[in-house]
Amino acid sequence: MSENVDTTQAPRKIGPPISRVSRLLESKQLGWVALAGALLAPFVTATPYALNVMTTAAIFVMLASGLNIVVGYCGLLDLGYVAFMAVGAYTAGILSKSFQLPLIFTIPAVLVLTVLAGLIIGGPTLRLRSDYLAIVTLGFGEITRITANNLTVTGGPSGIFGIPGLLKIGSVDVEDPAVLYYVTVLVVAVFVLASARLGKSRLGRAWRFVREDEDAAEAMGIHTYKVKLLAYIFGAIWGGLGGVLFAAHLSAVSPQSFIFLQSALVLMAVVLGGMGNMRGVVIGALVISLVPELLRDLGAHRYLFFGLLLVVVMVFRPQGLWPSRGYEPERPAGGTGDGEPGGGQSR
């Protein structure tokens, strides 16, 4: 039989991980190691500045893991993802401030409104494909920001200030930076895990089928529109809850936080990390949120260096820092073997 391997595509590593390093990188325990690292980080440095940066980074991981569902798994290029974060942050901010409630009690309302936002934005736009979808989502992102900028209930250009903290139990106040950091890390860890698990399920596979070939997916009985809408809704929930954490972190929400650049940065985290691979996306989000801070010594030039770094990475690793492997274990020897008689005949 001839070997008609398609060589026009970038060669990929296939087969089981061979080296010890890649075995370690693919191991299931790695998530726990990363969580432990995040929990121990404040013991290394716990200045208010460091805690601020780390909390921001954790929220950014949350956003990237949400956008990974939409862009990475389902292949829907969304350039206005920050709209969902805005909906979450404003809903939480407005409700908690007007009723003087801790932010945590606004979560049901946030969920309802972000899902609604997902349906409103996704409903009409998901009939479009690729480039058209990107442009329309870009528009929706800007519409959301400009609406927030002009409404009185959102506080106009100056936004909302003095938002109550996430929760206060006895003497433990979640407004305390260190406590807030730990709460954020734990919440984000749960959602990163959930996003990764979704990716390896029936629904997650359906998303990938849609990304790879919509018509073939449809022929297999996958209702592509519903599946894409579900990706949007899950992305919206992740974004909205990221917005709640954001409101809790800054205790203020203003339209300047939801500019297009923010959407672009989250998208960059997903692309840089490796679309569709949750571990890569977490790394990408950490790089995008932490490297500009590490480059702070360079002063005004830091974004120039940051941009150069990104270009270099994309030139040498166009598939992202850590793409998904496209590999799964073979059937163990002497497997089911219940094929029909003659089913396993030799060639």
Partner 1 sequence: MTAILEVKDLQVAFGGVKAVDGLTFSAHEREIIAVIGPNGAGKTSAFNCITGFYKPTSGSVLINGVDTTGKRPADIAAAGVSRTFQNLRLFPDLTVLDNVRAGMHLYGGQNWADAIFHTPRFRRSEAMYTEQAHHWLDFVGFQGARGVPVRNLSYGQQKRVEIARALARKAVLLLLDEPAAGLNYSEKQQLLELCRRIRDLGTAIVLIEHDMGLVMELSERIVVMNFGREIAAGAPAEVKANPAVIEAYLGKDDEAVATNGDA
Find the part of the chain contacting partner 1 (CB under 8 A) among 10-18, 105-113, 118-126, 235-243.
10-18
Contacts of 160 (CB under 8 A, 6+ apart): 90, 93, 94, 97, 154, 252, 253, 254
CB of 33 to partner 1, least distance (A): 20
CB of 110 to partner 1, least distance (A): 18
What number of chain residues touch partner 1 (CB under 8 A)? 55
> Pick from 21, 169, 219, 315: which binds partner 1 (CB under 8 A)?
219
Q: Does 123 bind partner 1 (CB under 8 A)?
A: no
> Pick from 217, 236, 237, 269: which binds partner 1 (CB under 8 A)?
217
320 CB-contact burial (10 Å; exposed 0-12 / middle 13-18 / buried 19+): buried
> Pick from 42, 165, 177, 205: which binds partner 1 (CB under 8 A)?
205
Q: Does 14 bind partner 1 (CB under 8 A)?
A: yes
Helix count (H) and strand count (E) of the chain?
13, 4
DSSP notation for 164-176 = --S-EETTEETTS
> Pick from 129, 223, 296, 317: which binds partner 1 (CB under 8 A)?
223
DSSP notation for 182-246 = HHHHHHHHHHHHHHHHHHTSHHHHHHHHHHH-HHHHHHTT--HHHHHHHHHHHHHHHHHHHHHHH
First to last CA, the chain: 9
> Pick from 48, 169, 170, 338: which binds partner 1 (CB under 8 A)?
338
Number of neighbouring beta carbons within 10 Å of residue 198: 19
Question: What mask of x and - would describe binding to partner 1 in positions 156 to 195, judged by CB under 8 A?
Answer: --------------------------------------x-
> Pick from 230, 237, 241, 268: which binds partner 1 (CB under 8 A)?
230
Cα–Cα dist 1/14, whole Å: 21
Tokens representing 302?
Answer: 């830091």
Sites for partner 1 among residues 290-329 (CB under 8 A): 326-329
Q: Does 332 bind partner 1 (CB under 8 A)?
A: no
Q: Does 32 bind partner 1 (CB under 8 A)?
A: no
C-beta contacts of 123-132 below 8 A and 24+ residues apart: 123/229, 126/76, 126/225, 126/228, 126/229, 126/232, 127/225, 129/214, 130/77, 131/77
Cβ-based nearer residue to partner 1, 4 or 29: 4
Q: Does 206 bind partner 1 (CB under 8 A)?
A: yes
What are the residues facing 203 on neighbouring strands?
none
Cβ-based nearer residue to partner 1, 162 or 342: 342
Q: Does 29 bind partner 1 (CB under 8 A)?
A: no
> Pick from 64, 222, 267, 283: which binds partner 1 (CB under 8 A)?
222
Find the part of the chain contacting partner 1 (CB under 8 A) among 111-119, 205-213, 263-271, 305-313.
205-213
Contacts of 323 (CB under 8 A, 6+ apart): 274, 275, 276, 277, 280
CB of 93 to partner 1, least distance (A): 27
Interface residues with partner 1 (CB under 8 A)? Answer: 1-6, 9, 12, 14-16, 194, 197-198, 200-206, 208-209, 212-213, 215-224, 230, 234, 326-331, 335-340, 342-347
